[in-house]
Structure 1
């Protein structure tokens, strides 16, 4: 078979939809044509023959498997790298085609809906449900007033593709989609075909892997791309959806609150990343500000063209005319604009606003203090006030719909959503850094030596006394340790950020929060920068201090610790100073690495349930911040389902969640995908806020006892695996984790501190999950479930009925079973056996394999399916199709690891390192997941 015929054969055999199959065939045909034109026919043959051998190997044909491995081991390194690049490009383009297929399906469904049958998980469905459940217009409006949704963009290194590669892939798949348009003339089709071929030629000629590690500045630029490319245009469309839904259900449209605000960690998260300096964070804010101002200038220019309202034809309110007189004094217009817009007050007003923004843009290039000083000339609040004035004036001029719908209102929504900062920057730092800085300050101020040796009670007593003392600890004439100076400079920077724009800074997050003192230490450092003050009775605080609970132990202790924090003599005043508000962050990655899949999920669920109780008992307004990764092993999965699975007591309309790595690329590369993602989030958050979330566990019904037993047993199995004396050497040897650590995909080091090489304790959760995913064990997404459930069910078979009932009626249980089910489907025994065979240590592989078989069998019984993912046919079919093309990539990677072991020269190692990077990229593309 040709490569194109191979794609058609396996896509058809896997029941891939015809529209997607046709596009994949067209894509492969174009790639084949390119290879033929370049005279590299062997690559075409290999791309077709290797998947055929893989399919034979899957049919328990060991001879075919050996032949496939022999064929690959006989290839020269240059042939391997060419094959890797071609297959990786193919998978990336297929992934993009799948996104377009999702959009096509959603559009088809949208065409067939009506008021009685809105699209599932949409805003229309949400309001339809409220109306059917007896919600009045006022009640529905009131519920939307409670919503506070804050997606948080992070630079976590799980996106292996370069920006230039992403752009070219999107161009190719978009143009392939256009070729289906029946309205195109033959010449137009041929023109598109030539464009596609050019893009393919450029894509294949572009380095897949970066030659240099990303800088923080690169990450900031990449993050801003998604704001300017999709988020900016998507957000107003959501408000359109809400308005249309209100109008359909209630016949009227409210003045909607701003329910979305974005945050970012890119350029400001310094936990374990020494490259995020004080100056880098300042420059990040300026880039945010410049980007926002430029976007507004473009918007104002378009709006000025649009609002061609003449005061000769409509009445113009005095308030607008009065504001124009003030503008004429402060930012006079040139004669050109005065004459051109003499009778067009709205255009004059918009031109004055543009001039003000241009002045702010010019000032950004000045020194830091000058930028801060000029900010008060025209603030985001002033900008919004001007837009509100235009909005009111348009309504008074009889142009109500122009004010409330369309281009002008989009601008107004963006201004209220993004301000001049685009996304507020959070700062995150490890608690140990604060502790050491406070010790240094206390020492040089002659208050106390040996602070870190004190007990927790002694620390709290000392910190309380110092917080109530108005004098600073930092002496003017004494040099502090370099690290202390660094952390103090960060707090001083926060003060500068707040002076520049009060909305530019979000929260100060304390990773690895273990005790009350971890938060009081931050207050001490904030006090040194003038951000925290005690007047003898009351605290005046300019920052939200956010504890981050990450380990299983910390999650278990978090409700009791929050009780202590909220009743602490000083910290309770911190909460009062922040309007009775407290944010808490929960870590999904480290908890999984610490306790395994089931324990991490249950520990997080219990923590949220109990934290909700503590916070409500103390009448504290709160927001939970979910530090979810992209993969199931790091809290990934569908965001809306995860929200619906949260305990009802922790749902108050306020929520934050991280958007990381390749998940940002998937959710925000295309406007239609971004819009669907965000509408599903609104649907889920509004529903749980209305009381449709998880009910609290009933005392004494046995649920918690059973779940605790499952969690304890699964964690025991997991810890027995990873605590085995031979485990770490085995893991490092059979996976490419050490090569993953050297991938130039992020500015942040792969492990936290230390120069003693790669160690389990310091390895971050991302490369940990990344390594398991590459070799298709996917341990962080399911392991331990079989070992936990089997003995319990043998002891009492009736528990199976309980588990089946939970799966059908308990969203939390359903979600974690389905997420594990997906990871089981992506686990591939032939593949992981290939890697394990490289090692002489077969025991660990057998432990994982045994639990895999148990877990798979039990999930089938719990879900009442014949095969894994029978209830998710689209995903099941996609995995089936991908397997035959992914397995050769894994065989290549295992072969490269063997070659690496036997390499004799530095030049060989250099070439092999590059090839291994390409293989990691390829498998990540095939699996649609990294870490």
Structure 2
């Protein structure tokens, strides 16, 4: 690129920065792409203009051959990816600007400074502040759910473009520096356009594990100490003193390599290799820290006093673990460096040597010795504010495990394994046929003893052997590093027996033991309540378990602590948006109260996806709108696919994400999340009195749609759901069971993904319109209650605002191109949309959807025209597939999948 084109940025300084960046990136794309694709896209715009007028696909679409369509999709998809990167850079820019203008009295919104300021103003002294932080238990959990449609190599190239865009945007960048950055963008774009968007095959679990480790050992590992520093800075500004360190309040978990629900590719061997890979990555990160510390701590015993404690440990390990006399002599006057080399040798041995006794706690002890020695040497600032402080945070957070690995399996698999063991042991011939009372009785008898049902090497069914082998892997991992394993999650938990079965299986490998002192079990067993009915019955399940002597031992073994997972995806797919969200809200309140009444500490684990339909939306708002009874400072939530790619794309984005979570958790757990006046409380109570009715009508309306005999054939025929299932973006199958694709066995992700692609977003709002029309419309007192509840904030406002965001992102005109009108499905959806829009505007007082969020509204408006182009192409491709109007089936499928990817970039979401 010429110097003139690089300098166009300075000539457009009056243009808003985001628009300037988008235009600049598009100009770079124009410079390197063949003009034919640009001309075809211009022609396509004219065609789509006609389609908007007629409301139907245009026959001229058939004139484009597959090569032209591929080039157009590549151009349009790449342009949206560039826009997405520009928006990420802009988020960082806005946060930095806000930080520059922030003051103690007016901190940056949703920052740690804001949260500490609120608590300080509320009368929290320093001890109370630290106690509140000490109660926090924040655990983001990475999963391999298939919601990131981009290849990792494409993501890496886009990250490089964002990095170079930052150089171009830098105020102090020189003309030559900007020109070189622009050339770098052009090169990255040229390679991107020459790279296949679609994998040639599905990733294996090991690929997913590598991706998870890439995030954990990279941006996440670097972000955690920054969050600690920011919180310490905020405390120092408000309290005038800086604590030496903070309690550990943030740690990570992972499902990748441990989640086997519906994924036969996750085996015992895979789980074992995952644990080793994570251990290696964690230790390698600590080795990097030691190398930096070795460079920094060039401290001579000629210059400062050396603590006897440090000299003692150096002498203790002198000549051990490979240290030679030469090594010792070379560093004889630099004791910090000598000790760091001793620690390094032990760490290297710990990666692969099973007999090496050096553990994560030993590393932490060694670093703390160095920390105290720096204080003794009069170098407190070096100890408390530098690399060593960060290394200590990382040692406490990531240990030798990087992230605690959860295991998850479907309850029916556990039932099958237990039934097999009971039959072979001669205890119960047909366990699976027993009712809940019968199963629980059998399991209670078994849990009264530590006696395993069978010998370790007994011949059992292959599925049972795989289960026992997996648990044996868990046992070895826990014995080596207790933090390596997180929880055992029971999917589709319906009753107490679903958890008792897991305890019996844990007993078989020695993970659950009972003796005269009680029960010992090193891992939590957590039910996952997923359907609307299971959420409604969860309170009774927990009450029964807490009152059952058979489970009392497990509770005591875990310190009277219970983790409870709540499923957002399947509950929505089962009952629709409003019913699922209300049932989740009620369940949290009921379960929290049940735990508190039983004297049980608890942590909710929120199984959220990226879209509103799967529990997505703003995490900060979700935390602050949770039931008061649930706000105990503990939280887990899943992060997956495109959510991980966005939140951890850049260090500054990761820091912002984590500080928003910590801000909300500090405010919620301290009781400082905002005080509502009596009138507002009454309004929310009045609206809540309507919620059961609204949920019932909403669910009935939603089920009437999906249970209609004519629904599924049309949906399967007209939507891209079949192709979404063929996207090679995950190791797990698209449905939990084999056979043909049906609504019942379709996973929630492709269900939501398909509606997003068709621009209807049905799972994010459908049923709301009829519910308010029947329950509220025409009754001013009920409408006033809803309006007051909306103004008061909380869960009611979150429900309404999430729904209106999904509706604003929808474009039913485009949905009509897919569904047509002959089958009545599209008119039915459009009528419900009209009712929902009318209700939301009546409650909010807005003139249009998202008038309360003009930034998102304008982003949607700007994206719509080019998104429509991709939709038009997809409609045409699906028509050709239905009519078998193609010569090469493989090429046809690849182009369809390319269109799915392009739309995912345009909509910034998948499932």
Q: TM class by shorter-chain length?
A: over 0.9
Q: Which residue of 2 aligns with 1:726?
A: 710
Asked if 1 retains the 8 angstrom alpha-carbon contact of 2:482 and 2:522, the reply is no
Q: Which residue of 1 aligns with 2:25?
A: 27
Q: Which residue of 1 aligns with 2:880?
A: 899
Q: Which residue of 1 aligns with 2:661?
A: 681
Tell me how far apart the structure 1 counterparts of residues 634 and 885 of structure 2 sit (CA, whole Å). 58
> SS of the residue aligned with 1:479?
coil
Q: Which residue of 2 aligns with 1:366?
A: none
Tell me how far apart the structure 2 counterparts of residues 723 and 533 of structure 1 sit (CA, whole Å). 47
Normalized against structure 2, the TM-score is what?
A: 0.96
Normalized against structure 1, the TM-score is what?
A: 0.94
1:904 is displaced (CA, Å) by: 6.1
Task: Give per-residue Cα distances to partners, 1:550-580, cap 9 Å, x unaligned.
Answer: 0101100111110001111210111001111
Tell me how far apart the structure 2 counterparts of residues 164 and 455 of structure 1 sit (CA, whole Å). 51
Tell me how far apart the structure 1 counterparts of residues 365 and 456 of structure 2 sit (CA, whole Å). 43
Q: Which residue of 1 aligns with 2:164?
A: 175
Tell me how far apart the structure 1 counterparts of residues 552 and 449 of structure 2 sit (CA, whole Å). 17
Taking structure 1 as reference, are residues 210 and 239 closer, same or farther at Cα in structure 2, changes over 3 Å only? same
> SS of the residue aligned with 1:768?
helix
Asked if 1 retains the 8 angstrom alpha-carbon contact of 2:687 and 2:786, the reply is no
Asked if 2 retains the 8 angstrom alpha-carbon contact of 1:646 and 1:694, the reply is no
> SS of the residue aligned with 1:330?
coil
Tell me how far apart the structure 1 counterparts of residues 894 and 663 of structure 2 sit (CA, whole Å). 45
Taking structure 1 as reference, are residues 174 and 53 closer, same or farther at Cα in structure 2, changes over 3 Å only? farther
Tell me how far apart the structure 1 counterparts of residues 540 and 310 of structure 2 sit (CA, whole Å). 56
Matched, 1:482 2:462: yes
- Provide the alpha-carbon RMSD of the alignment: 2.0
Matched, 1:772 2:755: yes
Q: Which residue of 2 aligns with 1:599?
A: 579
1:301 to 291, 306, 325: 291
Tell me how far apart the structure 2 counterparts of residues 795 and 876 of structure 1 sit (CA, whole Å). 30
Asked if 2 retains the 8 angstrom alpha-carbon contact of 1:889 and 1:922, the reply is yes
> SS of the residue aligned with 1:866?
coil
Asked if 2 retains the 8 angstrom alpha-carbon contact of 1:437 and 1:487, the reply is yes
1:539 is displaced (CA, Å) by: 1.4
Q: Which residue of 1 aligns with 2:551?
A: 571
Matched, 1:382 2:362: yes
Taking structure 1 as reference, are residues 491 and 698 closer, same or farther at Cα in structure 2, changes over 3 Å only? farther
Q: Which residue of 2 aligns with 1:157?
A: 146
Q: Which residue of 1 aligns with 2:492?
A: 512
Taking structure 1 as reference, are residues 900 and 694 closer, same or farther at Cα in structure 2, changes over 3 Å only? farther
Task: Give per-residue Cα distances to partners, 1:167-193, cap 9 Å, x unaligned.
Answer: 111212321332234544443333223
> SS of the residue aligned with 1:152?
strand
Matched, 1:552 2:532: yes
Asked if 1 retains the 8 angstrom alpha-carbon contact of 2:410 and 2:492, the reply is yes
Tell me how far apart the structure 2 counterparts of residues 477 and 924 of structure 1 sit (CA, whole Å). 49
2:41 to 40, 47, 66: 47
Tell me how far apart the structure 1 counterparts of residues 239 and 379 of structure 2 sit (CA, whole Å). 22
1:448 is displaced (CA, Å) by: 1.1
> SS of the residue aligned with 2:490?
strand
Tell me how far apart the structure 2 counterparts of residues 129 and 55 of structure 1 sit (CA, whole Å). 52
Tell me how far apart the structure 1 counterparts of residues 225 and 866 of structure 2 sit (CA, whole Å). 40
Asked if 2 retains the 8 angstrom alpha-carbon contact of 1:52 and 1:884, the reply is no
1:649 to 620, 626, 629: 629
1:69 to 28, 53, 58: 58
> SS of the residue aligned with 2:525?
strand
Matched, 1:324 2:322: no
1:248 to 227, 232, 237: 237
Q: Which residue of 2 aligns with 1:406?
A: 386
Q: Which residue of 2 aligns with 1:741?
A: 725
Matched, 1:467 2:461: no
Unaligned runs of 5+ in 2: none
Task: Give per-residue Cα distances to partners, 1:51-72, cap 9 Å, x unaligned.
Answer: 46646765xx33xx77x83443
> SS of the residue aligned with 1:777?
coil
Tell me how far apart the structure 2 counterparts of residues 184 and 190 of structure 1 sit (CA, whole Å). 10
> SS of the residue aligned with 1:750?
coil
1:693 is displaced (CA, Å) by: 5.0
Tell me how far apart the structure 1 counterparts of residues 653 and 218 of structure 2 sit (CA, whole Å). 13
1:213 is displaced (CA, Å) by: 0.5
Q: Which residue of 1 aligns with 2:211?
A: 222
- Residue correspondence of structure 1 range 169-208 to structure 2 within 5 A: 169-208=158-197
Tell me how far apart the structure 2 counterparts of residues 418 and 77 of structure 1 sit (CA, whole Å). 49
Task: Give per-residue Cα distances to partners, 1:735-790, cap 9 Å, x unaligned.
Answer: 100110011000010001132x1011111100110011000110110010000001
Taking structure 1 as reference, are residues 337 and 54 closer, same or farther at Cα in structure 2, changes over 3 Å only? farther
1:857 to 815, 838, 851: 838
Tell me how far apart the structure 2 counterparts of residues 192 and 123 of structure 1 sit (CA, whole Å). 34
Asked if 2 retains the 8 angstrom alpha-carbon contact of 1:647 and 1:694, the reply is no
Taking structure 1 as reference, are residues 24 and 695 closer, same or farther at Cα in structure 2, changes over 3 Å only? closer
Q: Which residue of 2 aligns with 1:368?
A: none
Task: Give per-residue Cα distances to partners, 1:774-827, cap 9 Å, x unaligned.
Answer: 001101100100000012223512211111111111311111111111100011
Asked if 2 retains the 8 angstrom alpha-carbon contact of 1:430 and 1:512, the reply is yes
Taking structure 1 as reference, are residues 874 and 541 closer, same or farther at Cα in structure 2, changes over 3 Å only? same
Task: Give per-residue Cα distances to partners, 1:286-338, cap 9 Å, x unaligned.
Answer: 11111111111111101111011111111111111001011214325234432
Matched, 1:713 2:693: no
Matched, 1:532 2:512: yes
Q: Which residue of 2 aligns with 1:367?
A: none
2:221 to 204, 228, 232: 232
- Residue correspondence of structure 1 range 524-923 to structure 2 within 5 A: 524-536=504-516, 538-692=518-672, 701-755=685-739, 757-837=740-820, 840-841=822-823, 843-903=824-884, 908-923=888-903
Tell me how far apart the structure 2 counterparts of residues 760 and 436 of structure 1 sit (CA, whole Å). 25
> SS of the residue aligned with 1:179?
helix
Asked if 2 retains the 8 angstrom alpha-carbon contact of 1:229 and 1:669, the reply is no
Tell me how far apart the structure 2 counterparts of residues 919 and 782 of structure 1 sit (CA, whole Å). 25
Tell me how far apart the structure 2 counterparts of residues 694 and 480 of structure 1 sit (CA, whole Å). 57
Tell me how far apart the structure 2 counterparts of residues 163 and 742 of structure 1 sit (CA, whole Å). 18
Tell me how far apart the structure 1 counterparts of residues 352 and 460 of structure 2 sit (CA, whole Å). 37
Tell me how far apart the structure 1 counterparts of residues 684 and 96 of structure 2 sit (CA, whole Å). 48
Q: Which residue of 2 aligns with 1:274?
A: 264
Task: Give per-residue Cα distances to partners, 1:866-890, cap 9 Å, x unaligned.
Answer: 1111111110011001000000100
Matched, 1:445 2:425: yes
Taking structure 1 as reference, are residues 315 and 803 closer, same or farther at Cα in structure 2, changes over 3 Å only? same
Matched, 1:313 2:306: no
Tell me how far apart the structure 1 counterparts of residues 451 and 132 of structure 2 sit (CA, whole Å). 46
Tell me how far apart the structure 1 counterparts of residues 159 and 25 of structure 2 sit (CA, whole Å). 13
Taking structure 1 as reference, are residues 661 and 767 closer, same or farther at Cα in structure 2, changes over 3 Å only? same
Q: Which residue of 2 aligns with 1:147?
A: 136
Asked if 2 retains the 8 angstrom alpha-carbon contact of 1:158 and 1:660, the reply is yes
Tell me how far apart the structure 1 counterparts of residues 608 and 345 of structure 2 sit (CA, whole Å). 42
Task: Give per-residue Cα distances to partners, 1:671-691, cap 9 Å, x unaligned.
Answer: 101100100000001111011
Tell me how far apart the structure 1 counterparts of residues 424 and 182 of structure 2 sit (CA, whole Å). 71
Asked if 2 retains the 8 angstrom alpha-carbon contact of 1:648 and 1:694, the reply is no
Tell me how far apart the structure 2 counterparts of residues 751 and 695 of structure 1 sit (CA, whole Å). 45
Asked if 2 retains the 8 angstrom alpha-carbon contact of 1:209 and 1:917, the reply is yes
Tell me how far apart the structure 1 counterparts of residues 41 and 457 of structure 2 sit (CA, whole Å). 70
Tell me how far apart the structure 1 counterparts of residues 509 and 675 of structure 2 sit (CA, whole Å). 44
1:593 is displaced (CA, Å) by: 0.4
Tell me how far apart the structure 1 counterparts of residues 719 and 689 of structure 2 sit (CA, whole Å). 37
